[in-house]
Amino acid sequence: MFEARREKIFVFGITIVLILFSIIALVPLLSVIATSFSSKSAVDMNLVTLWPKQFTLDSWGYIIDRPDLWKSFFLTLVTTLIGTALALLMTALLAYPLSKPEFRWGSVIMIGVVVAMIFKAPIVPYFLTVRAIGLYDNPLVLIIPHILNPFNLIIMRTFFKQFSKELEEAAFLEGCGYFRMLFQMVLPLSKAVLATLALFYGVVLWNQFQHPLFFLQNPDWFPLQIKIRQFITDDNVILAGVTSMIDQNYNERTLRAATVIFAIVPIIMVYPFLQKYFVKGAMIGSVKG
Amino acid sequence: MIPKKTALLLAAVILAAIALSGCSGNANQSKNTNQNHTNNIDGVVDIEVWGTNIGYKPITKGSPLYEFYKEKLGVGVIHPYVEWNGGTNYLNQLNLKIAANEMPDMFTPQQGIEDSLAKNGAIADLTELLPEYAPNVWEAIPAEMWDVVKANDPTGQGHIYYIPGSVDYGRYAGMIRQDWLDKLNLQMPTTQDEYVNVLEAFRDQDPNGNGQKDEIPTGGRQETRWMDHIFAMYGVAMFEGYPEWDLYGGELTYAAVTPNMKAALEFAAKLYKDGLMDKETLLNDKAKWDGKITSDKVGNYFHWVEHLNLNLENLAKNTGVKAEFSILPIPKVEGYEGFYTWKRFAPPQWVVKNSKDETKLKATLKLLNNMYDKDNWKDLYLGVEGMHYTMKDGKAIKLPDDKSTMENQVLNPYSSSATLAFTKDLYNDTASDDSKWAIEQLTKNMDEAQKYAKVIAGDGISASIYEGFPDINNRTLFVEYAAKIILGQYPISKFDEFVEKWNKSGGEEVTKRAREWYSKVHQ
């Protein structure tokens, strides 16, 4: 009886603390949302806190109307989807042989993988290499450098190593080759690791910023994160001059707010469905290294 | 077992290296031929120009702005998009480009990169080229300024390696609400006591007439920035909140460590304590502070005079009040000579690649010469009709900023070498009927501000004096002490501790270098 009560108090306390934390996390988000729905002058005069003042959809109208933002959005979406699929394929194709003791070169390649993971290439040689491969100012740079990550490779290899040997031997006896084994037996039974790595790769691809910044010159190929960054930075206009009168009911701050929301909505919508894999994924490979 | 593994690893590495270098050789060649802009049929040479672009479209061969520059300036300008990102990414990209042996023909240097490039002979020595091939550039910038550029030559030979940005007038001043003064029957203050009286009246007598005591007599922004008017009356050389170098007691000295600064901080602390300075002064960012000004609450603020129209128009839009601002004459303080800091030097604007290719070099100089021709400035400012401006009632009016359609006007000598006459003309010529009242106030105030502007002795000082002492350059220590003194957390006596600490943490060395620089310029 006493124990149960203490436990209740404990749970209650934890709940309160967590609620407070989520309020702390939510308040800035609410403020940004409120700003995105407020009028120019209300925002100019610092009147907006948690609720929109002089409600207007003008900022959102502007955002929705901007074709380049949508273009970036779809570009990012497509590169993330294709990139993730390719990345899983490449990773599996290398991880599977590496998990087989009978693969003679396995240990050598493994050393190469570990070296690549520990020593990152310095920026100048890396730039020169990527350029030499022909990826400079080429939209493929949004995908190709990301499709094989050593860390993810090791996770997958570890997972494959735990795969039941008896099952494979049985399949071999029936005349099944390595490729068929991988695609028809191992991969279908590895959904947990695939989902996890898909998330790891997907998040990197969705959020990529540095790569396109370095390697792309054509703004048509800019992914969403760079486009947003262009909205967000406060760049001082050197010579304001006289522009034809500002009749819009939005300003930098409201647009900024709307763009930020625009960019996080997809992630927010996907996250709850995938979150469980994140936790599971972090556990895979953590025990058996 | 181990030797075998090592050997294999070695073999793999060598193989990879061979494969990679083979690859890069081929790809490089094809790329180079691609990027080499050849001469056009009509004899116009294309050159690659890099400069600030905060998100507009690039200039590509045959695009409207390319054609415009070609026709106006006689040179084809290719201006690829490089994400600016506060200058950091631009600098990274520039470094990578230079490492790949593809330096642009002409570009805006960043963060002192021109020093190392000049030392390596990578950028052209312009000392003789400019007077001969680009006389307009040579004349647009005063001779004394060229002397300073020569003194700043990192190779120590007194050569010119960059074209500095320049400003030929005082851009800054404190501005005060004339309509509030009139309403409260107050005279324009001329001494510090009168100034304080006016601020008190602003605080207590409800000049904005809304029945609330919400007026903010004066204030500034975070990191003790944008409140130079408080420091100006004590003769402190302050530039947008950055202490500068000027003569104190006959010697070039960092303004932050002078007795003048001590007196100014004491005064600022008093204003803060008496509620005459915004309680959030040290928390305001640009948006916040501008918001207070444009909600009809601020009586006196410091900024670029030529941006006054933005505040006036936003204030009118937000509150319906057509405010009137006048220049605040520097209030007289016994024993001090007040002034607003005027730096004629803006950061280096252009450097030119040290090209083996004569035609490219000549074309670059031709471009520079023609763009610094003042007759072209208005056209360069307006840009392409239909893209950057439109004709309305026979008047050219700039279109509102639209980064998704406008190409970047990278050649802007009218702002990088700004003159008072041109800037005023620009405002007058392009003012619409709706904005005329604001522009009239603005141009009148721009003239008025000249009375109080003074070129400081440390104008154009090379940033290399701070080498090895980034904290002094970032004025970290100063901001900490100044903020605490203003907020009343430190007594003013703490200022002496600051001076001592500053000297010990490199200030002495920096001062020595600054004085050496000064004697070099004035020998």
Give tens-digit pLDDT for B51-90.
998 888 899 999 999 999 999 999 999 999 888 877 888 9
Same domain? For B144 and B288 the reply is no
Distance of alpha carbon B89 from alpha carbon A28, whole angstroms: 28
Mean pLDDT over the full length of chain B? 89
In this predicted structure, the answer to whether residue B300 has a pLDDT above a threshold of 60 is yes
ipTM of the shown complex: 0.72
Q: What is the pLDDT of residue B35?
A: 43
* B11 belongs to a structural domain: no
Highest averaged pLDDT of the listed ranges A184-193, B40-49, B195-204: B195-204
- From the number of C-beta atoms within 10 Å of its C-beta (0-12, 13-18, 19+), residue A156 rates as buried
Same domain? For B69 and B162 the reply is yes
Q: Which residues of B touch A220 (CB under 8 A)?
A: none
Q: Using one digit for the tens of pLDDT, what is the confidence trace for B479-510?
A: 999 999 999 999 999 999 999 999 999 999 99
Same domain? For B455 and B318 the reply is yes
Same domain? For B127 and B231 the reply is no
What is this structure's pTM? 0.80
Distance of alpha carbon B346 from alpha carbon B109, whole angstroms: 12
Residue % of chain B over a pLDDT of 90: 73
Same domain? For B268 and B376 the reply is no
Distance of alpha carbon B325 from alpha carbon B437, whole angstroms: 12
Q: Which residues of B touch A133 (CB under 8 A)?
A: 23-24, 27
* B513 belongs to a structural domain: yes
pLDDT, tens digit only, all 289 positions of chain A: 566 888 899 999 999 999 999 999 999 999 999 999 998 888 888 888 888 888 888 888 888 888 888 889 999 999 999 999 999 999 999 999 999 888 888 999 999 999 988 888 888 888 889 989 999 889 999 999 999 999 999 999 988 888 888 888 888 888 888 888 889 888 988 888 888 888 889 888 988 888 888 888 888 888 988 888 776 665 544 444 444 445 667 777 888 888 888 888 877 777 777 677 666 655 655 554 4
In this predicted structure, the answer to whether residue B39 has a pLDDT above a threshold of 80 is no
* CATH of A74-283 among 3.30.2130.10, 1.20.120.330, 1.10.3720.10, 1.10.600.10: 1.10.3720.10
**Residues B96, A67: C-beta atoms closer than 8 Å:** no
Q: Which residues of A touch B286 (CB under 8 A)?
A: 234
Nearest to A44 among B27, B294, B399 (CB): B294
Q: What is the pLDDT of residue B10?
A: 46
- CA geometry: angle A217, A220, A221, nearest 5 deg: 70
Q: What is the pLDDT of residue A230?
A: 73
Q: Which residues on adjacent β-strands are paired with residue B348? A: B164
Confidence of residue B5 (pLDDT cuts 50, 70, 90): low
- Contact, A34 vs A51, CB < 8 A? yes
Q: Distance, in angstroms, between A81 CA and closest chain B CA?
A: 25
Number of domains within chain B: 2
Q: What is the pLDDT of residue B11?
A: 47
Please name the residues between 364 and 423 in chain B that touch chain A, using a CB distance below 8 Å.
Answer: 381, 390, 392, 397-401, 403-404, 412, 414-415, 418, 423
Same domain? For B462 and B361 the reply is no
Distance of alpha carbon B268 from alpha carbon B242, whole angstroms: 16
The single-letter code of the amino acid at A53 is K
Q: Which residues of B touch A110 (CB under 8 A)?
A: none
In this predicted structure, the answer to whether residue B390 has a pLDDT above a threshold of 50 is yes
Q: Distance, in angstroms, between A62 CA and closest chain B CA?
A: 11
Q: What is the pLDDT of residue A253?
A: 82
In this predicted structure, the answer to whether residue B306 has a pLDDT above a threshold of 70 is yes
* B202 belongs to a structural domain: yes
Q: Please tell me the number of Cα atoms within 13 Å of B417 on its side-chain side.
A: 20
CB contact set of A14 (below 8 Å; sequence gap of 6+):
none
Q: Could you list the residue range(s) of the whole structural domain that residue B162 is in?
A: 46-168+346-382
- Residue B127 vs residue A167, higher pLDDT: B127
Same domain? For B261 and B328 the reply is yes
CB contact set of B121 (below 8 Å; sequence gap of 6+):
B354
Q: Where are the domains of chain A?
A: 74-283
Same domain? For B90 and B152 the reply is yes
Q: What is the pLDDT of residue A240?
A: 45
Distance of alpha carbon B39 from alpha carbon B360, whole angstroms: 9
Q: Distance, in angstroms, between B7 CA and closest chain A CA?
A: 10
- Distant-in-sequence contacts of B494-498, Cβ < 8 A, 24+ apart: B495/B261, B495/B262, B495/B265, B496/B262, B498/B257
Same domain? For B180 and B301 the reply is yes
Any idea which residue has 């000297």 for tokens? Answer: B503
Q: Which two tokens stand for residue B5?
A: 């593994």
Nearest to A219 among B20, B57, B430 (CB): B57
Q: Distance, in angstroms, between A125 CA and closest chain B CA?
A: 9
Q: Which two tokens stand for residue A124?
A: 């100048």
Q: Which residues of A touch B317 (CB under 8 A)?
A: 40-41, 246
Q: Which two tokens stand for residue A63?
A: 């955002």
* B462 belongs to a structural domain: yes
The single-letter code of the amino acid at A29 is L
CATH number of the structural domain spanning residue B452: 3.40.190.10
Chain B residue with minimum CA distance to A42: B318
Chain A residue with minimum CA distance to B412: A239
* B155 belongs to a structural domain: yes
Q: What is the pLDDT of residue A282?
A: 59
Please compute the mean of the pLDDT values over residues B190-195 and round it to a whole number: 96
Q: Using one digit for the tens of pLDDT, what is the confidence trace for B437-461?
A: 999 999 999 999 999 999 999 999 9
Same domain? For B111 and B198 the reply is no
Same domain? For B331 and B354 the reply is no
Please name the residues between 303 and 362 in chain B that touch chain A, using a CB distance below 8 Å.
Answer: 306-307, 309-310, 313-314, 317-318
Q: Distance, in angstroms, between A61 CA and closest chain B CA?
A: 15
* B406 belongs to a structural domain: no
**Residues B58, A218: C-beta atoms closer than 8 Å:** yes
Q: Distance, in angstroms, between B504 CA and closest chain A CA?
A: 35
Residue B45 DSSP symbol: P
In this predicted structure, the answer to whether residue B334 has a pLDDT above a threshold of 50 is yes
- Distant-in-sequence contacts of B144-152, Cβ < 8 A, 24+ apart: B145/B344, B145/B345, B145/B460, B147/B521, B148/B345, B148/B459, B148/B460, B148/B521, B149/B460, B151/B462, B151/B517, B151/B520, B151/B521, B152/B460, B152/B462, B152/B464, B152/B517
- Residue B143 vs residue A249, higher pLDDT: B143
Mutate to test the interface with A, among B96, B222, B315, B429 (most CBs of A within 10 A): B96
Tally Cβ neighbours within 10 Å of residue B426.
22
Q: HEC profile for A104-122?
A: CCHHHHHHHHHHHHHCCCC
Q: What is the pLDDT of residue B55?
A: 80
CA distance to A88, A197, B88, B205, per residue, from A120 (Å):
22, 21, 21, 65
